[in-house]
Structure 1
Amino acid sequence: MLSAMAGCAGKQGAQSASGGAGSSQAAKSGKNDTLVYGSAADARGLDPALVDDVESVKIMSNLYEGLLKYKKDSTEVEPCLAESWDVSADGLTYVFHLRKGVKFQDGTDFNADAVKFNIDRQLPPKVTEDMSYASFVYGAVKDVQVVDENTVKINLKEPCTPFLNNLAMNLGALIVSPKALQDNNNNVNEHPVGTGAYKFVSWQKDQNTVLVRNDDYWGTKALTKNVVFRTIKDNSARVVALNNGEVDIIDGIDHTVVDQVTSAGNQIIKSPGMNINYMAYNCSRAPFNNAKARAAISAAINVPELVETLYKGYSEAATSILPTFMPGYDKSVQQAAYDPEAAKVALKEAGITQVHMITYTSARMYNPANGQTLAEAIQGYLSKVGVTCTIDAYDWTTYKTKQQQGDFDICFAGWIGDNGDADNFLNLLAVDDPGMNYARFNNQQYKDMIAKAVKMPMGAQRNAAYSDAEKLIAKESPWLPISHSTNLIATSPKIQNFLYHATGMLPLAGVTKNS
């Protein structure tokens, strides 16, 4: 989620675009006028309606904008492409007053028609299966009306407490040039056009994505002219690239490289992670369509020990899906207790002697140890209770496709919160899309609880409703929550004013690189 996030296959896969010229252009620029960001994985695409991963968010958050945005240090919303808004007393009508004089990077006008076009493409009957975030952002929307050129009205079918926060998200809510969408068959994964502080130049798949400053930007212009997102999948290679001065910022690092980074004179930036790292059971088929079987596997895994071993204090063991600082978190919620002897008996009675796991090979912000390392650690625990695990590990893009095909017993994933609301985490297990609901969990009681809670006003009653939902999930065990990761970013000491937002956004317009 960023997120990290759950995903869909088909049209939205990260595709190659010609990029040699753009890369050369950036390389020829003054060294301090080019910012190079080393990522653990490539983006899957650059159309905010068609992707759902944090690697894509990092790039898109510099190309596009939404009606609203989050404050730099929280998930509180503030104006962006909408200067102000009014909400009806019944919570069913939202009127947005748009910023005037804004243009998309292709020279076309941003206006109320553009807003309607973007939302309508994610509503029935136009919404497509590969628009994973459409229901998250716009599920409560009835229709969109153009009042005048600079005023748009959004009518809801029912109240939705996190709706304003949803409109600041980078997935689904960012506004794309209608002309670009029309010119590219409703898919701008390779041809992104927004209103943001940077413009797209080129993309060489699994190599780099190049952006250049948008000198016609309506707001404060970016301080650094060029940005290059360079894909370096190997963790140690990213550290070497930073220490050698080949890149300026890297992510996807863990405790094992902190000393290596700092001893070279570079710096570590830490921040609390609004995320969850988890293991998911395939609830749609045997043996894990049985809650007792799921709980038995979970009871074989010592989560606190696992987290300490893998993350060495840079992640905290999860007792719930929700991060501990999020409204709705309940410290009384507990997952299946670690009891290997009881697990061994239950698994033998259920006839479970082997399981098929699939996982990912790259580091993730919610799991800097990477998915294969985590799966192998779980494999070790299960071997002690008589269960043999086969593990198939894939690069991130391939993994997303394999996960959606559903040929697995257990998979691994994570989520970076998009909007600071409990619904954004707990809703994952209430949707039918396997690109979001990795566990393919289908429980009507739970769905009803989530549908009710999202309409409730902020406060103790709403928090209690989400606590009840968490308790039901703990009982049903579709996931084994593992950890909440601390965000670790390493930067050159030359980098100033860098910010990694809790939602996974990576605004770079205010970042500079000193000599």
Structure 2
Amino acid sequence: MFTKSSRKPLGLLAVAASLTLVATACAESDRADGSGDDSQPFVFASAGDITALDPFLASDGETFRYSRQVFQTLLEHESGGSEIVGGLAESWDQSDDGTVWTFNLQQGVKFHDGDDLNAEVVCANFDRWFNLSGAYQSSNNSYYWQKIFGGFAENDEAYAAPDPRFVSCDAEDEFTAVIEVSEYSSLYPGGFSLAAFGIMSPTSLEAMEGQEITGEEGNPNLPEYTQVPGTVAGTGPFTVEEWNQDQGEITLKRFDDYWGDPAGFENMIIRAIPDENARRQALEAGDIHGYDLVAPADVGPLQEAGFEVPTRDVFNVLYLAYHQDDEALADLEVREALSHAVNRQRIVDTILPEGGEVASQFHPDTLDGWSPDVREIEYDPELAAEKLADAGQEDLTVEFCYPTEVTRPYMPAPKDIFDVISEDLQEAGVTVEAKSFEWAEYINQTDSGNCPLYLLGWTGDYNDAYNFIGTWFSTPNSAWGLDDEELFDKMEEVSTNPDADERIAGYQELNEMVMDVLPGLPISSSPPSIAFSGDVNPPNVSPLTQENFSEASWK
């Protein structure tokens, strides 16, 4: 079961820091009192730069943070929650067998370039995605399409895309789009809310036509339209004004013809500041007005200094992955030994924010399908050493990868977490060879199977267990080196079962199966914090990290 951590004392250094922050917050408040002018740019610091202006080509949270302000999807999540609500679709319905989805669109919606939203435009977007060819079919360039809708109209053998689940999209009338998929799946309706599927204008689609992805696999040269502001238009509360890639900064402008409530800021700047200390210092100095992924040790001092630091609900999991292409890690007894060696409670107590929990399985207990009956992995370094000896690996040496210059919602301090786990493994007799990569390269290395042991995690995209365990354990993939047909077949059976009660029971069984196979060790779930200056009315914070910044405003 999960164990709550207790709040840690601030200590003398933190108290001193909080006094400095008080002075900073007061200065910030004095600066802001005379403003109240919504034309003042709101500057928000993210942990990394965006990768492209087209979210379809992305799989990273920073690109999606930007794109949700600019593009809208058929469905979305309620503000500050995880329940599915209408987006560009005012309402929706599904057939009894779950294969036909009917979306009744909002009327009077305009794109940033003046085009009108209608059902034909929605279907033109889905048809474009379905008919992409060449390097677009690489999973690196169409990750979420392949996860949700499978492959393409004509799969290119060079990219090994899965069979398509998408069948068709038809405009039943001007404001009714009907999308058919091949079978019921728990991927829907959540999949229709993913930021990767932001609807673009007809003029945008025309501008994209014929533009190809070139370069090498894993190091693509993206088309010009993905780099030049003004080429792609959405329906969101902000438009793209400028993207300075050299400075890692994108500038958004309020869209005055937005069909919903107008944005509280006339201009918003999203600035990439990878280092969490630098983000905090920029907020203290008044250079920015908010930032994400606050270091746990900074939450208390910032709050005491008058900054707003709302905390999201837990909706993520951090794990230690065991890549089974490694000869030693292919042995279940070795994986069990390493798991017993790791003191997960120590990580929760010393590194994670208040509310962090030890994870017993590969998704948080807030999701249906979490099982109370998974096998427990107790911290026991002596047992770990015994199992290594029994497996003939008492002198095991393993390469352990971790990311640098990054923080993630599930992983607030990667190097600190790496250090704790390394010490634990060494105590059990394992020799650790450390290997680090910057974030973008780290993802390429882990996805390609080049790291026998590594840290990674997931923040849920939508409220279904499959979004966690199905993402990892539904098919063979190079990130895990796992080949378990029984598990894959069970995942397919459960995820396509339209009976909700049976599906939930199936997910519980799947969680038990996964922990028996032990492809990795779930470490923890963590409630990430986001900070704002005292003169900002923050947006509702989302457990899915899907904030709508048009809700925010100056006080």
TM-score (norm 1): 0.87
Written as runs of structure 1 = structure 2, the 5 A alignment for 1:252-271 is 252-271=293-312
* C-alpha distance in 2 between matches for 1:181 and 1:346: 58
Equivalent residue number for residue 407 of structure 2: 363
- Superposed CA offset, 1:443-468 (max 9, x none): 11111111122222464322110011
Kindly state the Cα deviation for residue 120 of structure 1 after the two structures are TM-superposed: 2.9
- Superposed CA offset, 1:389-433 (max 9, x none): 122222222222222332211121111111111110111223457
| Paired-residue identity, % | 27
Kindly state the Cα deviation for residue 182 of structure 1 after the two structures are TM-superposed: 4.2
Match of 2:146 among 135, 152, 170: 135
Aligned amino acid, residue 210 of structure 1: T
Aligned amino acid, residue 168 of structure 1: S
2:45 is aligned with 1:38: yes
Kindly state the Cα deviation for residue 230 of structure 1 after the two structures are TM-superposed: 1.3
SS, match of residue 270 in structure 1: coil
Equivalent residue number for residue 234 of structure 2: 194
* C-alpha distance in 2 between matches for 1:271 and 1:85: 28
Match of 1:399 among 442, 467, 482: 442
Equivalent residue number for residue 153 of structure 2: none
SS, match of residue 276 in structure 1: strand
Kindly state the Cα deviation for residue 158 of structure 1 after the two structures are TM-superposed: 0.9
- Superposed CA offset, 1:19-50 (max 9, x none): xxxxxxxxxx9676311111122223332221
Equivalent residue number for residue 465 of structure 1: 506
Match of 1:144 among 144, 161, 169: 169
Runs of 4+ more than 6 Å apart: none
2:326 is aligned with 1:301: no
- Superposed CA offset, 1:311-365 (max 9, x none): 2534111111121111111122235332212221332434352111222121111
Match of 1:233 among 274, 295, 301: 274
C-alpha contact (below 8 Å) 1:200/1:212 kept by paired residues: yes
- Superposed CA offset, 1:223-274 (max 9, x none): 2111111111222221111122111111122221123312432122112121
- Superposed CA offset, 1:80-109 (max 9, x none): 212222322222211222223323223333
C-alpha contact (below 8 Å) 1:203/1:209 kept by paired residues: yes
Match of 1:183 among 174, 184, 207: 207
SS, match of residue 540 in structure 2: coil
Kindly state the Cα deviation for residue 64 of structure 1 after the two structures are TM-superposed: 0.7
Equivalent residue number for residue 524 of structure 2: 483
C-alpha contact (below 8 Å) 1:241/1:247 kept by paired residues: yes
- Superposed CA offset, 1:482-506 (max 9, x none): 1111121111121114222121212
Equivalent residue number for residue 63 of structure 1: 70
- Superposed CA offset, 1:107-127 (max 9, x none): 333322322232234436746
* C-alpha distance in 2 between matches for 1:412 and 1:80: 35
Equivalent residue number for residue 319 of structure 2: 278
2:339 is aligned with 1:292: no
TM-score (norm 2): 0.81
C-alpha contact (below 8 Å) 1:333/1:474 kept by paired residues: yes
Equivalent residue number for residue 421 of structure 2: 378
SS, match of residue 392 in structure 1: strand
Match of 2:352 among 301, 307, 311: 311
2:23 is aligned with 1:53: no
* C-alpha distance in 2 between matches for 1:452 and 1:270: 36
Equivalent residue number for residue 207 of structure 1: 248
C-alpha contact (below 8 Å) 1:161/1:458 kept by paired residues: no
Aligned amino acid, residue 337 of structure 1: E
SS, match of residue 487 in structure 1: coil
After superposition, the Cα gap between the structure-2 partners of 1:226 and 1:334, relative to the gap in structure 1 and judged at 3 Å, is farther
Aligned amino acid, residue 291 of structure 1: L
* C-alpha distance in 1 between matches for 2:328 and 2:466: 29
Range 121-130 or range 146-155, more displaced: 121-130
2:197 is aligned with 1:173: yes
Equivalent residue number for residue 244 of structure 1: 285
Aligned amino acid, residue 228 of structure 1: I
C-alpha contact (below 8 Å) 2:98/2:498 kept by paired residues: no
* C-alpha distance in 1 between matches for 2:276 and 2:535: 22
* C-alpha distance in 1 between matches for 2:298 and 2:444: 31
Equivalent residue number for residue 11 of structure 1: none
C-alpha contact (below 8 Å) 2:184/2:496 kept by paired residues: yes
After superposition, the Cα gap between the structure-2 partners of 1:433 and 1:510, relative to the gap in structure 1 and judged at 3 Å, is farther
Aligned amino acid, residue 293 of structure 1: V
Equivalent residue number for residue 97 of structure 1: 104
C-alpha contact (below 8 Å) 1:273/1:366 kept by paired residues: no
Aligned amino acid, residue 180 of structure 1: S
* C-alpha distance in 2 between matches for 1:46 and 1:295: 43
| Structure 2: unaligned runs, 5 residues or longer | 1-35, 151-164, 213-222
After superposition, the Cα gap between the structure-2 partners of 1:292 and 1:508, relative to the gap in structure 1 and judged at 3 Å, is same
After superposition, the Cα gap between the structure-2 partners of 1:508 and 1:312, relative to the gap in structure 1 and judged at 3 Å, is closer
* C-alpha distance in 2 between matches for 1:340 and 1:415: 27
- Superposed CA offset, 1:363-405 (max 9, x none): 1111112x22222221111111121212222222222222233
SS, match of residue 309 in structure 2: strand
* C-alpha distance in 2 between matches for 1:194 and 1:411: 37
Match of 2:379 among 328, 338, 341: 338
Aligned amino acid, residue 152 of structure 1: A
Range 275-284 or range 450-459, more displaced: 450-459
C-alpha contact (below 8 Å) 1:281/1:479 kept by paired residues: yes
After superposition, the Cα gap between the structure-2 partners of 1:176 and 1:391, relative to the gap in structure 1 and judged at 3 Å, is farther
SS, match of residue 412 in structure 1: strand
Range 380-389 or range 39-48, more displaced: 39-48
Q: Let me know the Cα RMSD of the aligned residues.
A: 2.3
Q: Which structure has the larger Rg over C-alpha atoms?
A: 2
Kindly state the Cα deviation for residue 181 of structure 1 after the two structures are TM-superposed: 4.3
C-alpha contact (below 8 Å) 2:343/2:421 kept by paired residues: no
* C-alpha distance in 1 between matches for 2:103 and 2:122: 10
After superposition, the Cα gap between the structure-2 partners of 1:438 and 1:30, relative to the gap in structure 1 and judged at 3 Å, is farther
* C-alpha distance in 1 between matches for 2:326 and 2:461: 30
2:454 is aligned with 1:411: yes
After superposition, the Cα gap between the structure-2 partners of 1:355 and 1:178, relative to the gap in structure 1 and judged at 3 Å, is farther
How many pairs are equivalent?
482
- Superposed CA offset, 1:291-320 (max 9, x none): 222222111111122221222534111111
After superposition, the Cα gap between the structure-2 partners of 1:260 and 1:237, relative to the gap in structure 1 and judged at 3 Å, is farther
* C-alpha distance in 1 between matches for 2:200 and 2:397: 47
After superposition, the Cα gap between the structure-2 partners of 1:82 and 1:489, relative to the gap in structure 1 and judged at 3 Å, is same
C-alpha contact (below 8 Å) 1:255/1:314 kept by paired residues: no
* C-alpha distance in 1 between matches for 2:120 and 2:331: 49
Equivalent residue number for residue 388 of structure 1: 431
SS, match of residue 193 in structure 2: coil
Match of 1:157 among 151, 157, 182: 182
Kindly state the Cα deviation for residue 175 of structure 1 after the two structures are TM-superposed: 1.5
2:118 is aligned with 1:75: no
